[in-house]
Structure 1
Amino acid sequence: MNITKEQIDDLNAVVKVAVTKDDYQDKVDKILKDYRKQANIPGFRKGQVPMGLIKKQYGKAVLVDEVNKLIQDNLNKYLTEEKLDVLGNPLPKQQDGFDWDKEDFDFEFELGLAPNFEVPLKTKKAITHYKIVADKKMVNEQVERIQKQYGKLVSKSEVSKKDEVTGTFKNEEEEIDNKTTLEFNMLKSKKAIDILVGKKVGDVVSLKIKGLFKEDNFLTSVLGVSADKAEKLNIEVSFTIEEVNEREPAELNQELFDKLFGPDAVKSEKELKERIKEDSEKQFEQQSDQKLLNDVTEYFIENTKFDLPSGFLTKWIQMTGENPLTEEQASEEYEKSEKGLRYQLIEGKVIKDNDVQIQFDELKEFAKGFIKSQMAQYGQLNPAEEELDTIAARVMSNQDEVKRLSEQLMSQKLLNLYKEKANLKTKEVTYENFVKEVYG
């Protein structure tokens, strides 16, 4: 077998594969002999069917199959040995008048080649790395939430703005009959607030749904209806007041601190606020890091210029999709996927140039850390190392999980690389300002 390459331009090439009878005949003969041993054809004893009949019945199919296998194996080997960085897969060129009755065959395959380009990590423009801080307002609000969450309910007979009001919403026409608890900080309608304040247990009030809540999604839970239905509702509902409770805030004492963080981990209100600030800012780091990773990715895509073999890739999409595509449909699909393909090439270049690797042991440790954090959510704060190893081994035996964890670990490694080498500027912001600035 002889394989040669014809370079069309920097991004396109044609590989020519010449197959002779000597390349495939021995394998074809061996398979046909095995067929003859097993063949059950009426009028002949098993194993005694004439070879001419076997060749007539199976010869062409075996020949085509073996030649295709031969081409695939040797073409892949050639691409590896020649270190050709191809996009997609080689596409066979249509050949008019191709004849499988010949003894020697010539095939041609189109290649789309990856472009050469550089990705300087020291970007010309500084990319913002947000440091999100928990300000006094946020910390104090969190302290109030904790006091409220761990406080006790004091029953009342009359509604005030400080209270939680439990009752049942009803509307016969819309088949609404749902018991719920309202807090006044959920309400947007001043008219509804005025209606509720001063009412007593047993009273029934009529409320307009439109504009009742600050958040539209509250309607789904308080009325017990689907989100689609809640979105279309513009009705009045009755609300029967069944309970009125004032939540008396918990005292900031050692009993509460121990309940939150364990014995003697926090010993004062000052330490509580410091702990809340520290824990909040650790959580904010994940959002800040994700924002940085997204921004660096976008910067590279916008500023790393290179051409792609678009004609080849469009044809490849058209020929290899699950469903047949027209040229126009394939072109549309290529346009949709081009940005993602560009980043795959950029990311691969960054990984290769900076020798970013994932070792099995560090992937296992990463998996154990993920498992440990999952267990902590269910109250298992100090799992035994043996238990972690057992669960990690089970996780690592699942290829889908290994792929997912590998992608997460690689993202973390790339993030660390960007923090170390990219041109970053740190900007300290409160969480509230971060949300305004980043998400509008």
Structure 2
Amino acid sequence: MNITKEQIDDLNAVVKVAITKDDYQDKVESILKDYRKQANIPGFRKGQVPMGLIKKQYGKAVLVDEVNKLIQENLNKYLTEEKLDVLGNPLPKQQESFDWDKDDFNFEFELGLAPSFDVALKTKKAITSYKIVADDKMVNEQIERIAKQYGKLVSKEEAGKKDEITGTFSNEEEAIENKSTLELDKLKAKKAIDSLVGKKVGDVVTLKTKGLLKEEHLLASTLGIDAEKAKDLNTEVTFTIEEINEREPAKLDQELFDKLFGKDTVSSEKELKEKIKEDSEKQFEQQADQKLLNDVTEYFIENTKFELPTNFLTKWIQSTGENPLSDEQAAEEFEKSEKGLRYQLIEGKIIKDNDIQIQFDELKEFAKGFIKSQMAQFGQLDPKEEELDNIATRVLDNQDEVKRLSEQLMSQKLLSLYKEKVNLKTKEVTYENFVKEVYG
């Protein structure tokens, strides 16, 4: 077998594979002999079928199969040995005069080659790195929510503006019949609030669904309907009041502090505020980091210029899709995937140039940290190291989890590199202003 490469240009090449009879004959003969031993053909005893008949019936299929195996094994080996950085997979060139009845075969494969380029980590333009702070307003609102959440319900005869009213929503035409609780301070429509204030158990109130709640996405669960229906629902429902309660805030005492953060972690209202501020800003840091990662990614895609073997990749997409694609459809698919492909190449270049690697031991430690944070959400604040180690071992036995965690750890490593090397400007904002600025 002989494999040679013809360079078309910097991004395209053709690999030629020449296979002679000597390359495949022994293997084909061996397989056909095995077929002969097992063949059950009427008129012949098992193992006594003439070889000529076996070759006539199975020879071509075995030949094609073995030649294809030879190509696959040796072509992949050649690409590795020659250190060719290819995009997609080699595409076989069509040969109109190809004949499987010959002894020797010649195949040609088109290659799309990865471009050569450099990534300048020190960006010309300063990229904003947000530092999100929890201001006094946010901390106080969080304390109010906590006190309310852990408070107790006190039954009332008449509804006030901050009470919780439980009742049944009904609308026969829209098939609505659902028991739910309304918190009056979460209603958006002033008319709805006014119509409920002063009402008693047994009263029936008519409410408009459109603009009823401040958080519109909660309308579906409130009315007991699916989200798609709730999205554009503009009708009236009756609300039959069954229960009226006032939520009495919990006292900010040691019992509540211990319930929230573990015994003696917080021992005063001042420490509570500090703890809420600290925890909130840790959560905000994740969002700020993701924003920074996204912005750096976008910058590199926009400012790292290189050509791609567009024609090859379009043909490759066309040939590997589940369903046949026209030239126009394949071109559209390439256009959709081009941005992602460009960043894969850029990211790979950054990882290679900066020798960023993931060792199994650090992946296991990363998994243990992830598991520990998950356990903390369910009140297990101090798991034993042996328990964490055992869970991490089980998690890393799953290759899908290994892939997912490796990607997350690599993102962290890249983020650390960007914070060190990229030209950044820090901007301190409240969470409210961060949301406005970033998400509009």
Q: TM-score by structure 2 length? A: 0.97
Q: Shift of the alpha carbon at 1:151?
A: 1.6
What is the RMSD computed on CA atoms of the aligned residues? 1.4
Q: Deviations over 1:320-373 (max 9, x none)?
A: 211111111111111111111111111111111111111111112222222222
C-alpha distance in 2, partners of 1:398/1:78?
A: 32
C-alpha distance in 1, partners of 2:77/2:291?
A: 41
Is 1:254 aligned to residue 254 of structure 2?
Answer: yes
Counterpart mapping for 1:220-231 below 5 A: 220-231=220-231
Q: Deviations over 1:216-269 (max 9, x none)?
A: 223212222222332343332222222222222222222221221122211111
Q: Deviations over 1:277-330 (max 9, x none)?
A: 000000011101110111111011100100000001111111121111111111
Is 1:90 aligned to residue 100 of structure 2?
Answer: no
C-alpha distance in 2, partners of 1:11/1:280?
A: 49
- Larger mean CA deviation between 334-343 and 211-220 belongs to 211-220
Could you say which residue in structure 2 is the equivalent of 1:317? 317
Could you say which residue in structure 2 is the equivalent of 1:137? 137
Counterpart mapping for 1:154-169 below 5 A: 154-169=154-169
Q: Shift of the alpha carbon at 1:379?
A: 2.0
Counterpart mapping for 1:346-385 below 5 A: 346-385=346-385
Counterpart mapping for 1:34-433 below 5 A: 34-433=34-433
Percent of aligned positions that are identical: 84
- Larger mean CA deviation between 210-219 and 273-282 belongs to 210-219
Q: Secondary structure at the match of 1:7?
A: strand
C-alpha distance in 2, partners of 1:328/1:21?
A: 41
Amino acid at match of 2:121: L
Amino acid at match of 1:283: Q
Aligned residue pair count: 440
Q: Secondary structure at the match of 2:216?
A: coil
C-alpha distance in 2, partners of 1:82/1:210?
A: 66
Could you say which residue in structure 1 is the equivalent of 2:7? 7
C-alpha distance in 2, partners of 1:420/1:385?
A: 32
C-alpha distance in 1, partners of 2:95/2:237?
A: 74
Q: Shift of the alpha carbon at 1:157?
A: 1.3
Contact kept? 2:162, 2:185, Cα under 8 Å: no
Q: Secondary structure at the match of 1:217?
A: helix
- Larger mean CA deviation between 70-79 and 205-214 belongs to 205-214
Q: Deviations over 1:34-53 (max 9, x none)?
A: 22222222222222222222
Q: Secondary structure at the match of 1:358?
A: coil
1:18–1:172 distance in 2 versus 1, CA, 3 Å: closer
| Structure 1: gaps of 5 or more residues | none
C-alpha distance in 2, partners of 1:218/1:103?
A: 72
Q: Deviations over 1:18-47 (max 9, x none)?
A: 111111111111111222222222222222
C-alpha distance in 2, partners of 1:68/1:227?
A: 52
Q: Deviations over 1:40-83 (max 9, x none)?
A: 22222222222222211111111111111111111111111111
C-alpha distance in 2, partners of 1:344/1:213?
A: 43
Q: Shift of the alpha carbon at 1:138?
A: 0.3
- Larger mean CA deviation between 367-376 and 143-152 belongs to 367-376
Contact kept? 2:166, 2:244, Cα under 8 Å: yes
Q: Shift of the alpha carbon at 1:128?
A: 0.8
C-alpha distance in 1, partners of 2:356/2:416?
A: 11
Q: Shift of the alpha carbon at 1:411?
A: 1.1
Q: Deviations over 1:97-131 (max 9, x none)?
A: 11111111111111100000001111111111111
C-alpha distance in 2, partners of 1:39/1:208?
A: 78
Q: Secondary structure at the match of 1:437?
A: helix
C-alpha distance in 1, partners of 2:387/2:250?
A: 37
Q: Which runs of 4+ in 1 moved over 6 A?
A: none
Q: Shift of the alpha carbon at 1:204?
A: 2.1
Q: Secondary structure at the match of 2:158?
A: coil
Amino acid at match of 1:43: G
Q: Deviations over 1:115-161 (max 9, x none)?
A: 00001111111111111000010001111111111222222212211
| Structure 2: gaps of 5 or more residues | none
Q: Secondary structure at the match of 1:265?
A: coil
Q: Secondary structure at the match of 1:169?
A: strand
Q: Shift of the alpha carbon at 1:385?
A: 2.5
Q: TM-score by structure 1 length? A: 0.97
C-alpha distance in 1, partners of 2:377/2:264?
A: 21
Q: Secondary structure at the match of 2:4?
A: strand
1:208–1:129 distance in 2 versus 1, CA, 3 Å: same
